[in-house]
Amino acid sequence: MNTPFTLRTLAACAALCSTAAMAHVTLPPGGAAAGSDYDAAFRVGHACADAKSTTGIRVQLPEGFTLLQAQPRAGWKLASTPREVSWQAEGPQAALPGSERAEFVVRGKLTDKPGALYFKVLQSCDVGSADWAQLPVAGSSEKQALPAARLDVLAPGVAAVDVRDAWVRQTVPGQSGTGAFMKLTAPAGARLVGASTPAAGIAEVHEMKMEGDIMRMRELKDGLALPPRQTVELKPGGLHVMLMELKQPIAKGSTIPLTLRFEDARGAKSALQVDLAVGAPAGAAAAAAPESHGHMHHN
């Protein structure tokens, strides 16, 4: 007797839970601007459960994404239709080992309508497969074992940049400046060109670096480049947002609003507001964070 479909499905999900908990087939965080050309780079960094390598990737393209071009991969056979793109390894040596990461890239034109798009991805492996195709259930907060890859299509003026681990160093009475830190990822690339906050009279994008035996800090007057799909970390002793002319001490336990301003390759401007937690998050290095211009040379 054949196992009922529901039982087979549950068994497959259970077998995949350990893999799904570690990583999914995803798109870079940060979203993309409505109406723009977008490189959908599907990230694969694991094999299916009990498998050693990925041998095939098949992506269903949702309404709202018009295919322009699929990027070939050496050693893989590429096939496409207006609604589907697939890559198939031509042999075991071309397969993607489970310990390695890779991107499978599809370029397309996005809808002018802001909202979420979901790409269903079938990952085939040397043993079994994983169907990343589950869509969100309205009203449910339960995490899905096999979620489809999500892309947030953003309204004009909203920056397509993902901001994580944003924090600012606390200050003491009389201190005039401090630094803000975070991790920035722009899927399509961007440039951080400015910042502002009601907590300070001036907010500038700075870098600190050693020149000989002197630590120097300077403003990046042309802004900070965020290469496509690469995370740029602002951290103590390096890149940071310098807050000067503080209006009041920044006390631990509070949050500070910060507006970040960006430009894309076409010069289109956008902004994003983040809340800075006061005090370094777990695992962040707080040493050498800039406190004020008086502690170092400024170019």
pLDDT score for 286: 52
- Give CA–CA dist 278/53, Å, rounded: 43
Q: Using an 8 Å Cβ cutoff, are 223 and 239 in contact?
A: no
- One-letter amino acid of 177: G
- Tokens 């056979």 correspond to 77
Question: For the chain, which domains are there?
Answer: 5-154 (2.60.40.2230), 162-298 (2.60.40.1890)
pLDDT digits (tens, 9 = 90+) for 190-238: 999 999 999 999 999 999 876 777 878 899 999 999 999 999 999 999 9
- Tokens 């169907």 correspond to 131
Query: What is the average pLDDT across 67-86?
Result: 97
**pLDDT above 60: residue 22:** no
**pLDDT above 80: residue 130:** yes
Q: Sign of dihedral through CA atoms 228, 230, 236, 238?
A: negative
- Give CA–CA dist 53/47, Å, rounded: 5
Q: Which residues pair with 123 in a beta bridge?
A: 57, 130
- Give CA–CA dist 161/35, Å, rounded: 16
Choose among 47, 210, 32: nearest CA to 108. 32
What average pLDDT does the chain have? 87
Q: Using an 8 Å Cβ cutoff, are 119 and 149 in contact?
A: yes
- Phi–psi pair at 93, nearest 5 degrees: -70, -25
Which stretch of 146-155, 159-168, 273-282 has the lowest confidence by average pLDDT?
Answer: 273-282
Degrees, nearest 5: CA angle 287-291-293 = 130
User: Burial of 152 by CB count in 10 Å (0-12 exposed, 13-18 middle, 19+ buried)?
Assistant: middle
What is the CB neighbour count within 10 angstroms for residue 185? 21
**pLDDT above 60: residue 294:** no
Q: Using an 8 Å Cβ cutoff, are 123 and 107 in contact?
A: no
pLDDT score for 285: 55
pLDDT score for 209: 79
Query: Within 13 Å, how many C-alpha atoms sit on residue 294's CB side?
Result: 6
DSSP string over 86-131: EEEESSGGGSEETTS-EEEEEEEEEPSS-EEEEEEEEEEESS-EEE
